[in-house]
Structure 1
């Protein structure tokens, strides 16, 4: 299926067995980067300090700008392997660690996934943001992205609906309930057989 943008995340690949989602720093993040970096450039341009101090102004502001940038993020849902891979790439971490570390990856067993829900977060000075959370039957939860998307939640709801359709969560939930009911019925039958045998 062709690539298309859903606001919250971009659908890179969508087949029956594979769903690949991507998220890059948005316009707000890049605007903040340019704004902070411009402060350093202006300080260096108008300052009468030495070239080393001017370089320090520019470098310092660029590092602060990178630290406040959103990260590049990917989520891969692979039915053939029954795995979910959540990848995060940070430009700031990459440079700070001298290119030794910049990407983090979390691998989750898809068979443990029980629900996909929308979580609301308050972002300082900017209002409310929304992101998706993957809930597992082990009690753990993993955010689909580290940063929330601002504005309306319709974009996040669209990705949530896509995920639920792809994973067939409603069908899986019904199957789990049927299996639990069957196990409970089997256990009850075994208890009755034991009671009859005792008597």
Structure 2
């Protein structure tokens, strides 16, 4: 699953992502190696603690991030938050939380991009494109395989931001009227 809908209303969209089963399995597997090495070794207590601490550190490093995206039409902002357990441990709880805030009106498009994940194949993620030409991914890591899940999230965001709205024929007639009125003005000859 790419992202889960935590809360959705006409003015608020809250998406969340937690580490997946693959990430937790890898974390438990690496931590188990440290516990087994400490339990079955004939080394001193200091070495056993070193085995356990090292493996727990590597396990935390391989754990994916917790990520949130909060779209708020009332405030006119999008807030992208990430929480990383590894950075939290490494900086002794001073880091690990990152937050990006952007203006909703500046988002002009929502796309699904494909990126190559080494040894595993192709991953997909949602990218927000801004009026300024800046692009920012919705999440920091791609999801493997499930392109349809990622496309569903992109479609949800597009419909929430009303980016899929096509101009009505009335809008087209107004623009053609202004062009016609511009033609009535006298042209300066140079």
TM-score after normalising by structure 2: 0.88
Any stretches of 5+ residues in structure 1 without a counterpart?
1-6
2:25 corresponds to 1:31: yes
Match of 2:134 in 1: 140
Q: SS at the partner of 1:145?
A: coil
2:162 to 160, 165, 168: 168
2:70 & 2:8 partners in 1: Cα distance? 10
Q: As a proportion of its length, which structure holds more helix?
A: 1
2:175 corresponds to 1:151: no
Match of 1:84 in 2: 78
Q: CA deviation at 1:194?
A: 7.7
Any stretches of 5+ residues in structure 2 without a counterpart?
none
Deviation readout 1:144-186 (Å, 9 max, x if unpaired): 0111111231111111111111110022x749xx69x95xx67
Match of 1:107 in 2: 101
Q: SS at the partner of 2:115?
A: strand
Root mean square deviation, CA, Å: 2.3
Deviation readout 1:69-124 (Å, 9 max, x if unpaired): 11000000001111010000001111111111121000011111011100111112
TM-score after normalising by structure 1: 0.85
2:55 corresponds to 1:61: yes
2:2 & 2:19 partners in 1: Cα distance? 11
2:146 & 2:83 partners in 1: Cα distance? 26
Q: SS at the partner of 1:169?
A: coil
May I ask how many residue pairs the two structures share in their alignment?
184
